[in-house]
Amino acid sequence: MSKQVFEELKSLVTEASNPHTADIDTKSTREILELINAEDAKVPEAVRKEIPYIEQAVELLVERFKAGGRLFYIGAGTSGRLGVLDASECPPTYGTDPDMVQGIIAGGYEALVRSQEGAEDIYENGARDLKERGFTQNDVACGIAASRRTPYVVGAIDYARSIGAKTIYVTCNPRSEMNIPVDVAICPVVGPEVVMGSTRMKAGTATKLVLNMLTTASMIRLGKVYGNMMVDLQMTSKKLEERSKRTVMMVTGVSYEEAERVLEQAGGHVKTALVMILAGVSAEEARDRLEKADGFVRKAIEGF
């Protein structure tokens, strides 16, 4: 088994030695930082090339979300942590139910703060963890594995496919080597890492950018943004409370005091407050308009 893993790893782009940093251990601090920065600069272009596939994934997600489905990120190590991070940011940013986007990491909660690398090798646990979360055929499983081959992630995706669920895969190895059947594969190839095999670097950065795009574009398509402002955020902290007031003020031109008053009438819901002010209606009518407009503020203001 060890020899098989060795053979799998030696041919992966993410495990290759980077010729541009072969003598990095002889460099000064400034030179090391410049080398890292030069390699990092390659990441956005690699992600840009994958936009057609990211688009397909977003369309799939929007369709599933509208039907009541959920997104489950599943990964190990850095990949798993990035999935959990993206999922955890959706409720405060877009007012989503915590169940709507979930992150699962091999090894569970402890793996978020302390590396448990062996957890990624257990194929069966990927399916087990999806089952424990109540994953169904209406949901979407998004596997995240820089190397592509992570057994835990492959096991989860195989299970998702077996019950008829939609699947997405994010990997930093070439599409031509993608041998895992999924609905959409996203493959930003960032090349060998500055430090060989340290995929928390360029691969991690590329993955973070892709996940940002998946959920941000999906939430915009679901009407959770007005202009470029988040209007479904939850007022769960003083910062978010004040951001809500500022958003209402910026969009409508009302005073701080008026924004505070209307938000109180709207139950702290920015969307409702905006429709109340801009359409000149009550909180009840604003909520009714938003429901009929599928949550889109512009449509609710314009009366469809």
The answer to whether 104 touches 82, Cβ cutoff 8 Å, is no
Side chain identity at 137, as an amino acid letter? Q
Annotated catalytic, 124?
no
> Helix, strand, coil % (nearest 5) of the chain?
60, 10, 35
The strand pair at 71-75 and 140-144 is best described as parallel
Residue 105 to residue 103: CA distance in whole angstroms: 7
Q: Two tokens at 115?
A: 């590396």
- Give the active site residue among 59, 89, 241, 260: 89
Residue 211 to residue 280: CA distance in whole angstroms: 38
Sheet containing strand 166-170, strands side by side: 101-105, 71-75, 140-144, 166-170, 184-186
Side chain identity at 259, as an amino acid letter? A
Cα-trace Rg, the chain: 22
Residue 41 to residue 83: CA distance in whole angstroms: 23
For residue 275, which of 304, 255, 243 has the smallest C-alpha distance? 304
- Give the active site residue among 39, 50, 120, 193: 120
The answer to whether 10 touches 171, Cβ cutoff 8 Å, is no
Q: Two tokens at 68?
A: 């009541």
Q: Residue 48, exposed/middle/buried by CB under 10 A (0-12, 13-18, 19+)?
A: exposed
Annotated catalytic, 89?
yes
The answer to whether 215 touches 90, Cβ cutoff 8 Å, is yes
The answer to whether 179 touches 42, Cβ cutoff 8 Å, is no
The answer to whether 14 touches 147, Cβ cutoff 8 Å, is yes
User: Which sequence positions are flagged as catalytic?
Assistant: 89, 120
